[in-house]
Amino acid sequence: MLSSLGSAGGKSAKPSFVSYVTPEEIKSEKEPSRKEKHPDLLPGEVVFCSASTVLKYTQDDLSQRGVFGALLCTNFRVSFVSDEAPTEETGQLFKNKLYGENDIPLSCVDNIYGGYEDKKKLITGGLVKNKYPSKMIIHCKDLRVFQFSLSFSKEEDAKKIFQGIVHHCLEPKSLRCLFAFSYCENTSYPEVQRKKQTVMFDSVEDWIQDMKRTKGNCRVVSENSNFELSPKLPQFFIVPSNVSDEDLTKYQGKGLPMWCWSHHSGCALFKTASIPLVQEDNVPQTYMEKMLTAVAHNHLYSVKTEDLSDTLPAVQDILLSYNKFKQFFLIDNTTEFWMSDMKWFSSLDNCGWLDIIRQCLQKAVEVVECLEKENTNVLIMEEGGSDLCCVVSSLVQLMLDPYYRTLLGFQSLVQKEWVAGGHAFLDRSNHLHLKDKAESQSPVFLLFLECVWQLQQQHGPAFQFSETYLTVLSDSVHVPVFTTFLFNNDSHRDNILRAESPHTQRSPLNCPTVWDWSVQFDCKAQDLFTNPLYSEKPKQDTSVRKSYRPKHLRQLSLPSSAFKTPPKKGFFKDEADNLKKILGVKRLSRWMLSPSSESPQTSSSVREFYEAWQTKPLDYHGLLLPCLDGPSIRVWMQRYLRWIHDVQILGGGPVAMLSKVSEILGEVQELQRQLDRHGCTLTSNHKGARPRAKTASVIAARSSVRLSSSFPFVTSRNWLFKPAIPTSLLQSLMVTGMAGNLADREDDGGGPESLV
Amino acid sequence: MASASIPVYNSSNNPLENSSSHNASRESLKMELLADCSLLPGEERIIDKDIIYICPFSGALKGKVFITNYRLYFKSADADPAVTLDVPLGAIGRVEKMGGASSRGENSYGLDITCKDMRNLRFALKQEGHSRRDIFDILFKYAFPLSHGLLLFAYLSQEKFEENGWSVYKPMEEFRRQGLPNDKWRVTFINANYELCDTYPTILVVPFKATEEDLRKVCTFRSRGRIPVLSWIHRENQAVICRCSQPLVGMSGKRNKDDERYLDLIREANGTAKLTIYDARPSVNAVANKATGGGYEGDDAYQNAELVFLDIHNIHVMRESLKKLKDIVYPNVEESHWLSSLESTHWLEHIKLVISGAIQVADKISGGNSVVVHCSDGWDRTAQLTSLAMLMLDSHYRTLRGFQVLLEKEWISFGHKFANRIGHGDKNHADQDRSPIFVQFIDCVWQMTKQFPTAFEFNERLLVTILDHLFSCRFGTFLFNCESARDTNELRSKTVSLWSLVNSDLSFYQNPFYTPESNRVLYPVASMRHLELWVTYYIRWNPRIRQQQQSPVEQRYIELLALRDEYLKKLEELQLSDSSPNSSHLSNSSTPNATSPTQHITHLHTPF
């Protein structure tokens, strides 16, 4: 081991970069303390391989400087342990307990590139026998970028670590290899008291309660609790009351309308997996008709259907678009960054990601319009019924039901629509790198979070959770510890967890869900999940606080007289008569492909709906609609720009304002406590202003700690007090053609008067 | 404004909006003699007429239009809520007749009005009896008074305010604040009668070692005599920002020893090794300028200087850019490929170049190096760069009054040609001298306030108000091209300053989040990732862009502040009654706690 350093030093007699310390220095420095460097390993974590004297480039630094340290690959993560004494960052309040800033959970690795001299090559598994690049670049799914130089390590070590990382990050593996299982076997993870917790929708009571809350009157099905009916169906679900027992299993759950949410008028939203239509076989059609009648029966015999496969992009298109989009943020060097800055808006436009977000939101608004304005039942469907159906149904509920805008409400919504709803998290994230599943990979859940972020940006005070919460949630999908994101559906989860249980008894393996936030963050950090702008709905009767959940909003937010109902075409066809026609038609032309023919009608109706809503005073505890105009759909800055040094606004960004709000909020809460101690009953005559004492989210944002726009993800340590000066400005301005001659002209007519 | 929504900046002292705030019931509106209540002192009614306003958002609306010597006012009771328009005539850039007496189609006969503030207005009239002739003539005459031998409204206004805005900026006071004069820099009155340079102010600060004779010599080598003079000095490192126009190098590459020596004096003053000259133009333009006698400082002539081109385009490019922007946001926001359309206007790219130029200036100064900034004449791009750099460097300019000083100094006194760039009262809408340079600068300031929401004492309302009155001609502040013209026209004695209005109601323009931090240099991020379209200005006429009175964050903050004050008061009352001698339960736990909130009051009240 000792000699490895010597040989490494010899090999790189001429380092092509300036580093803080030369390899020779390291040798002399480190020799006394020869010991395998390890990160603090988690329970059940095992080191596979490691290499020392790896150089980690300090990101965004063209001078190619870096820090030396050991690079390890464990069954959980790729970890870099710096040789430099860890500088205890005092202000770091947002530390993830599972992995640090130099750790990459294996499932979080997106792509690995090899740097050979000046070329960069994408590494796909397999090809790496006996060779290794001098530089390894890792792009992460949470958008971090790591660059390591292997040219100072012992050849053997370098080869091993490179191959190890490639193997464990990119090669197919079995579900049982995911870290969650060895982690859970080795932690006595305490059963959390589920009081005042997220509703998991894993019991029949949860479903009954939710239906009661929304005053729905459908049929709760509990016959599948052991998956006797079908492994493809959720353990518990709700269907229209007219659905008979034999209907339940007819097409393995396909075509079966699953209740999502009931509107106070009585109409409800249902979703279903569409039945592939087999030619000349009328049976599925008859079944579909029966199901639609059952849905219609739910309220006023009206139903509208919407096949999302026809009108929203396919999951593969979503992936393609996102893959283009994310490239704008995976920055290897600053020159590249500033070059791409020039064409930023059009690149953004061309990748189509924001447009997909807009389409999902628009679809949700259309559904909301049906429920809210026309009071018809809505059945949304798609192949599989658990991707865009989940996106749209969750968005609809967020817009209509303020309960889901609370933190616990939101988590319950994700449980209901996504986890219990059978979204194939495992296949969509392809944690296992299975070649045959490559097709099904798609960031559908992220797309949903993006839409939620848009709503939250536009109507901040309506949401109890913060932007940071959403960002962290999107990161957690790639931390293979939480059962929430590891399975494809209920029966899959149940099977695996039972099989993996260490005890032979019946109790399944006890793993944390992502909602057990204390696994990742301490209480202080979790304070950042609440939105200081949120104020609870003022209660008429403060003395009787029955349940935590606010009552389902009763009043109509829109008097129906406000609308002249325009005859609508194209979308949401009235079912009763032309049902057959619709089902007979194979696929309507896609929304995406023919915006001109389809969109004007619907988008103008949506616009009218939005405008009518907009003229009413805004009630944050009532119906919320997003503005869908171009300037209103934006990039989720915190998530995408947080690691890019050059765009950090030092001492600025929205957090500068929010921290002041938090500060005052903390003071108000402190005063409240003091007044309470005095036995003073506060008559909250400030409408809705009285904050809940529990949401004390006091960011330690005193003037001593300067925040940046990347707060809380990047700490002040990384600050340089030099401004980022954009490079390559000149090429940018393509003032060609028409402007060409203008650009050459004098500012003020003729030449200078004082011509000598 | 032509929308059914609540106006953005609806306050009784905002003249552009105040009439629309009279949202009385429809019945009373019919009774009321409409525009009467809202006339400004000195404002007179000229004509009123039944007319149809073709609103791009709500369709054709019947109503009545009133024209005064200051504004066009339209009100329609057709829509609910009532639609009103309140347009200062100064904001009108062009009036045209639409259709003819024989035009077919509904509402095809009328007037087409192009405004300078990002909107267009269309009115239709009855086709019989030349019904538009009188209104067209009157509008044309009063919207462009200077073209018709009339006075600008600012000279007719009788408005009175508590504050006199003309006293906001006193050059000597401002220089003294900066620590000037000192042993390296002196104040000169050589331009007291505008003899050295007719577009400069009377008081100038120049290197101590430069004699009056030197100044006169340098003057001959700088375009329009705009010699390098000091704009700002860094208190600690004594680095300075100087501004000027281009040197008159010409095709033959002329040199001028006096100019070279003069720039070296600037460099010497704080021991800067190399003076940096920022030429705001793209280098090709600088080269091209040689053909008309201008040019730039060559390497061999100015040995101790480095020249950096900042690649900012000229006034014509900027004008076309904003025109394109208007096309994609008014009346409707471009729907398909919004972002690509936005990019094709290049507006934000220009903003980026201006801001990054200013960052470079500020960065040099922070590093202790003096700089000279110029473009061609030194009154457009130069003013943008120096004032933005000063805003980054000097927290004083980020206060409400400090910002007024900055505008008065860098823009007004140093001769940004407001009259030509805006075309106040002038009918020649196609004048090539017009350009939204100042609008672009205010946009840059807005971008900075957006990135640093706690660093500025003023709010967005101030910026919008400034832009409204840039066109309105209600105040004298932005009239004329330079100080000498203002003196000739007795501007300061005959008109009211915009700052009189603003400073009489400061709280309206205050940013509640403002946290003073002196000595902090603000570096905004000049990346397209962070630059955004100023929707609440450029798209404010569109009712669909939700126009909130206050941002929800601001609203929440103010709510909480009020709540805190209420609780504090209550707590104080409780403690008073507790500590009274006959109180039986003097809880000792409350006493230590009580001190902490009271301590808070003092420092937390500062934002207000």
pLDDT(A543) > 50: no
Residues 461-520 of A with CB under 8 A from B: 461
pLDDT(A700) > 90: no
Tell me the average pLDDT across A557-561: 37
Of B224, B335, B578, the CB nearest to A630: B335
Q: How confident is the model at residue A117 (pLDDT cuts 50, 70, 90)?
A: confident
Contacts of B578 in chain A (CB under 8 A): 678
In this prediction, residue A539 carries a pLDDT of: 62
- CA distances B3 to A619, B53, B84, Å, are 21, 12, 8
User: At residue A341, what are phi and psi to the nearest 5 degrees?
Assistant: -65, -30
Cβ of residue B314 closer than 8 Å to a chain A Cβ: yes
Three-state DSSP class for residue B256: coil
Least confident of A260-274, A714-728, A733-747: A733-747
- Convert the pLDDT of each residue in A119-137 to its tens digit: 888 988 766 566 788 899 9
What does the alpha-carbon distance between residue A670 and residue B597 come to, in Å, rounded to a whole number? 9
CB within 8 Å: A689 and B563? yes
Q: A111 - beta bridge partners?
A: A139
Which amino acid makes up residue A217?
N
In this prediction, residue B591 carries a pLDDT of: 38
User: At residue A673, what are phi and psi to the nearest 5 degrees?
Assistant: -60, -40
In this prediction, residue B277 carries a pLDDT of: 97
- Convert the pLDDT of each residue in B555-593 to its tens digit: 899 999 999 999 999 988 888 877 665 544 444 443 333
Q: How confident is the model at residue A280 (pLDDT cuts 50, 70, 90)?
A: low
Which residue's structure tokens are 């293979």?
Answer: A480
Tell me the average pLDDT across A628-655: 90
What does the alpha-carbon distance between residue B568 and residue A404 come to, in Å, rounded to a whole number? 34
Helix, strand, coil percentages for chain B (3-state, nearest 5): 40, 15, 45
Tell me the average pLDDT across A269-285: 79
Can you give A269-296 as a three-state secondary structure string? EEEEECCCCCCCCCHHHHHHHHHHHHHH
- Convert the pLDDT of each residue in A48-85 to its tens digit: 999 999 999 886 555 678 899 999 999 999 999 988 87
Tell me the average pLDDT across B529-557: 86
Q: How confident is the model at residue B166 (pLDDT cuts 50, 70, 90)?
A: very high
- Convert the pLDDT of each residue in B275-309 to its tens digit: 999 999 999 999 999 999 999 999 899 999 999 99
Q: Is B377 annotated as a binding residue?
A: yes
Tell me the average pLDDT across A319-343: 90
Measured distance between the N- and C-terminal CA atoms of chain B, rounded to whole angstroms: 31
Which amino acid makes up residue B288?
A
Q: Is B431 annotated as a binding residue?
A: no
In this prediction, residue A508 carries a pLDDT of: 72
Tell me the average pLDDT across B479-496: 97
Quick one: closest CA in A to B288, which residue?
Answer: A744
HSE toward the beta carbon, residue A9, CA cutoff 13 A:
13
Mean of all residue pLDDT scores within chain A: 79
Å from B262 to nearest chain A CA?
Answer: 19
Sign of CA dihedral A712, A454, A404, A690: positive
In this prediction, residue B608 carries a pLDDT of: 30
Q: In this structure, what DSSP letter does residue A666 have?
A: H
Of B225, B362, B589, the CB nearest to A677: B589
In this prediction, residue A504 carries a pLDDT of: 57
pLDDT(B547) > 70: no
User: At residue A99, what are phi and psi to the nearest 5 degrees?
Assistant: -145, 145
Q: Is B380 annotated as a binding residue?
A: yes
pLDDT(B347) > 70: yes
- Convert the pLDDT of each residue in A659-693 to its tens digit: 899 999 999 999 998 888 877 655 544 444 444 44
| Pairs of residues, one from chain A and one from chain B, whose beta carbons lie less than 8 Å apart | 284
Ramachandran assignment for B464, one of left (phi > 0), alpha (psi -120 to 50 degrees), beta (any other): alpha
- Active-site residue, selected from the candidate residues B375, B444, B473, B482: B375
- Convert the pLDDT of each residue in B459-469 to its tens digit: 999 999 999 99
Å from B164 to nearest chain A CA?
Answer: 33
Q: What angle do CA A26, A31, A35 make, to 5 degrees?
A: 105
Three-state DSSP class for residue A568: coil
pLDDT(B23) > 50: no
Q: How far from the centroid of its chain's Cα atoms is residue A529's Cα? A: 14
Cβ–Cβ under 8 Å, residues B293 and B377: no
* Structure tokens, A372: 């809210």
Express as a percent the part of chain B with pLDDT over 70.
Answer: 88
In this prediction, residue A299 carries a pLDDT of: 83
CB within 8 Å: A752 and B432? no
Which amino acid makes up residue A273?
A
Least confident of A12-21, B372-381, B444-453: A12-21
* B197 part of the active site: no
User: At residue B542, what are phi and psi to the nearest 5 degrees?
Assistant: -85, 120
In this prediction, residue A415 carries a pLDDT of: 96
Least confident of A6-15, A264-273, B34-43, B493-502: A6-15
Q: How confident is the model at residue B142 (pLDDT cuts 50, 70, 90)?
A: very high
What does the alpha-carbon distance between residue A51 and residue B51 come to, in Å, rounded to a whole number? 82
pLDDT(B221) > 70: yes
Cβ–Cβ under 8 Å, residues A548 and A576: no
Cβ of residue B487 closer than 8 Å to a chain A Cβ: no
Q: How confident is the model at residue A37 (pLDDT cuts 50, 70, 90)?
A: low
Q: In this structure, what DSSP letter does residue A681 have?
A: P
Contacts of B288 in chain A (CB under 8 A): 744
pLDDT(B383) > 90: yes
Express as a percent the part of chain B with pLDDT over 90.
Answer: 77
pLDDT(A723) > 70: yes
Of A338, A607, A723, the CB nearest to B359: A723
> For residue B124, which of B115, B113, B140 has the smallest C-alpha distance?
B113
Report whether the peptide linkage leading into residue A600 is cis, meaning its omega lies within 30 degrees of zero. Answer: no
Q: Is B315 annotated as a binding residue?
A: yes
Residues 505-564 of B with CB under 8 A from A: 513, 515, 517, 520, 522-530, 532-533, 535, 539, 543-546, 552-553, 555-557, 559-564
- Convert the pLDDT of each residue in A490-539 to its tens digit: 999 988 888 887 665 556 777 889 999 999 999 889 999 999 999 887 66
In this prediction, residue A540 carries a pLDDT of: 54
- Convert the pLDDT of each residue in B109-132 to its tens digit: 999 999 999 999 999 998 888 889
Contacts of B528 in chain A (CB under 8 A): 341-342, 344-345
In this prediction, residue A745 carries a pLDDT of: 75
